[in-house]
Amino acid sequence: MQQRKKIAIIVAGGSGTRMGAAVPKQFLELAGKPVLYHTIAAFINAYADMQVVLVVPETHFAPAQQVLNSFPAPPPVTLVKGGETRFHSVQNGLQQVPDNAVVFVHDGVRPLLTAALVRHCYEQTLLHGNAIPVIDMKDSVRETNAAGNKAVNREQFKIIQTPQTFLSEQLLPAFALPYDPLFTDEATVVEKLGHPIHLVPGEDRNIKITRPLDLVIAEALLRQ
Ligand SMILES: Nc1ccn([C@@H]2O[C@H](COP(=O)(O)OP(=O)(O)OP(=O)(O)O)[C@@H](O)[C@H]2O)c(=O)n1
Ligand SMILES: C[C@](O)(CO)[C@H](O)COP(=O)(O)O
């Protein structure tokens, strides 16, 4: 199968409101290194020819550069400024993407993904055009509405993770669409252009660090 350029857009342009820390959560320490260090390392360890586009708030270029300087060798990373929402941060990152690439879009605050997941997403994208990692729901689920609530069959639902991975010819035109607040991930945007979305198994450990408890869980998982 023909190989393609590999570009990881790591979105870390948020402010971490729900974490409530003094600095955005992507710069907090996790097992002795910033969260972002672990995330970048997972991608560059997956493929020798991986190129990373790191999207950070314009106000945080200096701490982002410090993270990059802490690698044993300079990593292949381009810094790009974040946007108003996650969608706009992805749009900014996409400006660095060449044609004929496989593009991974990953939350900077999911530092525990494995290189195996990155490689599986790449291979599945070559076969299916995209690959979206998902895990099963563990809890019971109810739908709420104005009238009250009702149980739903959880087998019909999946929890969506990143890296959401696409051929560049699917992702680039999709992000020319006007912003819609329902675009909470890339699959939703690409689906809007009519592309079927190919789900692949995600990883339980690939949590999104959102609140203080998530950092405690991530630390425990890293020390396993
Ligand atoms: N304008 C934005 C908003 C979010 N993100 C990134 O998208 C990922 C997932 O977003 P989320 O967990 O919601 O991060 P925050 O927006 O920082 O958190 P909060 O919603 O609590 O403020 C994070 O890596 C975050 O940095 C981004 O690049 N640009
Ligand atoms: C992209 C994502 O991580 C998939 O689960 C999620 O949609 C991000 O949501 P957030 O509201 O930006 O945290």
pLDDT at position 49 is 97
- ipTM of model: 0.98
CATH of the domain at 135: 3.90.550.10
Residues 35 and 10 sit within 8 Å (Cβ to Cβ): no
> What average pLDDT does this structure show over 51-60?
97
pLDDT at 202 over 80: yes
> What average pLDDT does this structure show over 47-68?
98
In this structure, the residue with its CA closest to atom 1 of ligand 1 is 85
Contacts of 92 (CB under 8 A, 6+ apart): 13, 55, 80, 81, 82, 83
Number of helices (H) and strands (E), helices first, in the chain? 7, 12
pLDDT above 70 coverage of the chain, percent: 100
List the beta bridge partners of residue 97. none
Residue 185 Cα to ligand 2 midpoint, Å, equals 6
pLDDT at position 2 is 82
Query: Per residue in 138-191, pLDDT tens?
Result: 999 999 999 999 999 999 999 999 999 999 999 999 999 999 999 999 999 999
Residues 6 and 47 sit within 8 Å (Cβ to Cβ): yes
Provide the mean pLDDT of the chain: 97
**Range list of β-strands (E), the chain:** 5-11, 29-30, 33-34, 50-56, 77-81, 101-107, 130-135, 141-145, 148-152, 159-160, 164-167, 199-201
Confidence of residue 72 (pLDDT cuts 50, 70, 90): very high
pLDDT at 1 over 80: no
In this structure, the residue with its CA closest to atom 10 of ligand 1 is 14
pLDDT at position 96 is 98
Confidence of residue 194 (pLDDT cuts 50, 70, 90): very high
- Enclosing domain of residue 52: 5-222
Residue 102 Cα to ligand 2 midpoint, Å, equals 21
How many structural domains does the chain have? Answer: 1
Of 86, 90, 105, 210, the residue with max ligand 1 atoms within 8 A of its CB, to mutate for a pocket test, comes to 86
> What average pLDDT does this structure show over 12-32?
96
| CA 24 to ligand 1: nearest atom | 17
pLDDT at position 56 is 98
Backbone angles phi, psi at 151, to 5 degrees: -70, 145
Total residues belonging to the chain: 224
Q: 100 is written with which tokens?
A: 């004929």
pLDDT at 107 over 90: yes
Q: Does the beta carbon of 210 sit less than 6 angstroms from any atom of ligand 1? A: yes
pLDDT at position 158 is 98
Contacts of 106 (CB under 8 A, 6+ apart): 8, 9, 10, 11, 39, 43, 113, 162, 163, 164
Contacts of 123 (CB under 8 A, 6+ apart): none
Q: What is the pTM of this model?
A: 0.97
In this structure, the residue with its CA closest to atom 9 of ligand 1 is 107
Residues 170 and 138 sit within 8 Å (Cβ to Cβ): no
pLDDT at position 224 is 83
In this structure, the residue with its CA closest to atom 11 of ligand 2 is 184
